[in-house]
Homo-oligomer: A and B are copies of this chain.
């Protein structure tokens, strides 16, 4: 099935419906397709989806329930290309692949560039993967199997193997002739890689430079040598950093011995940047991955672990309170006020932690400035600690007409805000030093600390000074 050439009006129609943008699906289209599917009118479905870009068709498929998806894909026929399959969100793709014949899936996958094909294949479970690989033509299968030998989330998985590499002594004229005659070039590329006899990349020639140079000039005389070479085993997070830092469009990928084997392009990296930032956000909040298209039971299960850990830490906080039940029994106001100190510490710590997690990801926080930033967070915690000690102390003192109670909550607030600033930084930094993703468990650890210290400081000071 060849990808259909999308036909679209060059000037976008005005966005329809609230919160909808320039491009992408509109709610009215989704409703129209739903109605046509309900009526079993496949012709109408095809007319409606014909103008859609493949990425939008993938989004449309995601919007429906599993059985409707099957019906939609059947109606789409040849419009359901490998590209559409590759654009589907992970959970939905699993579901769709299960409902298709192995032959259909294999045909769709073989249309794709190696990077996209590997991305589809790698998510499948092993027997399914084998079954589909067997149905793919030999040459492509070998390329895919080789792609799968690289570690998950590595540059080797991300790269496409289709790359134009030429020796440095070739002239511009030779290069242009070669490009005119070659039939297996990538459809879209922005640079030619220049390699030495060992096939190690030594430079790049931008196509605009090639176009603007006279034919007898050699590639070595117009190539740029400021290469950012990426070993195939490099983690995708590091790849994304290199692209962002140096504003790259593409970068050569090499074996351990420096041989050019592929190219990573910015469109794949855009997806990685998106994923990695999203991953930090999700992990901080105990969601394994975006689960909007997952069934309720799986969603509940995916969120269970974090909630269980949170139950554990909440019980730890309760045990701390339990140590002071005699104190609370004598003065019930303490029970009323104690969540304030814990909550403020949790929030202040989370602010610090959020900044730290992102600063580690962007390499703004490195070994050489950790101590300075720690000192700063201590001061920030101190400033806001004093400010909120006064505010909370005044509020509590006035509420209960009890100055010592105000002083106790104020003192506890200062202690907890200082602790929050220190641990908000120290927890992600320690995880990072231990080579654990700083976002993963930082949130639970931190709120455990701020809850425990919050209750301990407040109830402890109250026990000492109020009774």
Contact = CB atoms under 8 A, between A and B. Distances in A.
A388 B179 contact: no
Nearest to A62: B364
A282 interface: yes
A192 B5 CA distance: 20
Contacts of A212: 179-180, 185
Interface stretch (A42-50, A122-130, A286-294): A286-294
Interface residues on A, range: 35 or more
A153 interface: no
A3 to B, nearest CB: 11
A358 interface: yes
B10 A296 contact: no
B318 A328 contact: no
Given A18-B433, A21-B241, A368 B307 contact: no
A2 interface: no
A225 interface: yes
Contacts of A12: 228-229, 231
Contact of A55 (B245, B280, B313): B245
Interface stretch (A94-102, A104-112, A376-384): A376-384
Interface stretch (A73-81, A143-151, A330-338): A330-338
Interface residue SS majority, chain A: helix
A384 B290 contact: no
Interface string A22-43: 1111010011001000000000
Interface in A109-125: none
Contacts of A55: 245-247
A179 B200 contact: no
A162 B173 CA distance: 28
B433 A19 contact: yes
A348 B307 CA distance: 7
B384 A300 contact: yes
Contacts of A231: 12, 22
Contacts of A5: 226
B339 A321 contact: yes
Contact of A343 (B308, B310, B332, B387): B310
A290 B359 contact: yes
Contacts of A234: 22
Contacts of A247: 55, 267, 270
Nearest to A381: B300
Interface in A222-262: 225-231, 234, 238, 241-249, 254, 258
Interface string A289-312: 011110111011001101110110
A287 B321 contact: no
B229 A287 contact: no
A431 to B, nearest CB: 11
A305 to B, nearest CB: 11
A20 B353 CA distance: 20
Interface in A306-326: 306-308, 310-311, 313-315, 317-318, 321-322, 325
A235 B218 CA distance: 44
B369 A227 contact: no
Contacts of A258: 11
Interface in A339-375: 339-340, 342-344, 347-348, 350-351, 353-355, 358-359, 362-369, 373
A287 B295 CA distance: 33
17 contacts: A8-B225, A11-B254, A21-B241, A23-B242, A24-B363, A31-B368, A53-B226, A59-B363, A189-B208, A207-B208, A244-B270, A244-B274, A274-B277, A281-B358, A290-B358, A310-B343, A328-B335
Given A30-B368, A282-B354, A300-B384, 20 more contacts: A8-B226, A10-B227, A21-B238, A21-B242, A23-B228, A23-B245, A25-B366, A27-B366, A53-B246, A247-B270, A266-B267, A266-B270, A270-B273, A278-B358, A281-B284, A292-B373, A308-B391, A314-B344, A318-B340, A328-B332
Nearest first, the 4 A-B pairs at minimum CB distance are A277-B277, A335-B335, A207-B207, A247-B267
